[in-house]
């Protein structure tokens, strides 16, 4: 009986998951920005960060990421 209830609960959560993902996608698109960095070889590396996060790049170690609001790019 417990297995049946558990499987029904899991099925309900999985059925509702796409609804929550599509509902927040419009807000997520407006809350990000595109970061671009031109490498020494001439290629353009692009990634997404939050609007309030700085774009950080360390080309020597091929590391491109978003910084934090508090510490910036460390």
Average pLDDT over residues 34-40: 92
Is 73 a domain residue?
A: no
Is 23 a domain residue?
A: yes
Q: How many domains would you assign to the chain?
A: 1
Q: SS3 letters for 29-67?
A: HHCEEEEEEECCCCCEEEEEEECCCCEEEEHHHCEEEEC
Is 43 a domain residue?
A: yes
Which pLDDT score, from 0 to 100, does residue 46 have? 95
Residue 9 pLDDT > 70, yes or no? no
Of the pLDDT bands very low, low, confident and very high (cuts 50, 70, 90), residue 30 is confident
Parent domain of 47 = 2-66
Enter the pTM of the model: 0.55
Is 40 a domain residue?
A: yes
């Amino acid at each position: 009986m417990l297995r049946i209830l558990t499987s029904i609960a899991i099925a309900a959560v999985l059925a509702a998951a796409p609804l929550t993902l599509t509902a927040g996608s419009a807000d997520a698109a407006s809350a990000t920005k595109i970061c671009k960095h031109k490498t020494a070889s001439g290629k353009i590396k692009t990634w997404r960060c939050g609007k309030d996060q700085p774009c950080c790049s360390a080309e020597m170690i091929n590391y491109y990421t978003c910084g934090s609001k508090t510490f910036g790019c460390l």
